Amino acid sequence: MKGIRITITLEDKVADELRRVAGPRGISAFVNEAVERRLQAARLQKMLDEMDEEFGPVPEQVQQEVDAVMWPDASSTAAR
């Protein structure tokens, strides 16, 4: 992976757990993936906010119907 080097500061306990979970050579990939996911979430939230502004909030009845749907577990679909 080609990229740029960025220095960050983490709390000691967060850094220790990151090292254990990601391993010494996987820290950059682990952090990169986490940042990608957070950026995607921010883009999606921005889109939802814009849609709310343009069309108004989702009607309560529609929200209840969506909440009642049995959605697949994200962990079971992530490997596909």
Tens digit of pLDDT at every position of the chain (80 positions): 688 999 999 999 999 999 999 987 799 999 999 999 999 999 999 999 999 999 999 999 999 999 999 888 866 655 54
- pLDDT computed for residue 20 by the predictor: 95
pLDDT of residue 62: 94
Residue 23 has a pLDDT of 86
Q: Is the whole model's pTM more than 0.85, yes or no? A: no
What is the model's pLDDT at position 72? 87
- Provide the H-helix boundaries in 1-80: 12-22, 27-55, 60-68, 74-77
Quote the pLDDT of residue 76.
63
Tell me which residue of 22, 24, 23, 44 sits closest to 33, measured CA to CA: 22
Distance, in Å, from the CA atom of 48 to the CA atom of 38, rounded to the nearest integer, reads: 15
